[in-house]
Amino acid sequence: MDLFEIDDTQRMRREEAAARLHALADALARNNSIEFERDGRRVTVRVPDEVDLKIEVELGDENELEVELTW
């Protein structure tokens, strides 16, 4: 299988980031798949009923909150 990767960093207001996270969470709650589009290419990611959720917080010179789903 070919690797498809989206690695996109955008600066935005906290409220806009929260809205995007809400949209992703809503898509996960409604369906067993999520669609991503990049450079005119649409990819559907199938998500099983059970996933591993990892939340990582790093505080220092630059703070980071990382949320990761794996299966």
Reported as a single tens digit per residue, the pLDDT across 39-68 is 888 889 999 999 999 999 999 999 999 999
Q: What is d(CA 66, CA 21) in angstroms, rounded to the nearest whole number?
A: 12
Name every residue whose Cβ is closer than 8 Å to that of residue 61 and which is 6 or more positions away in sequence: none
Distance CA 47, CA 37 (A): 17
Q: Rounded to two decimals, what is the model's pTM?
A: 0.79
High-pLDDT (> 90) share of the chain, %: 72
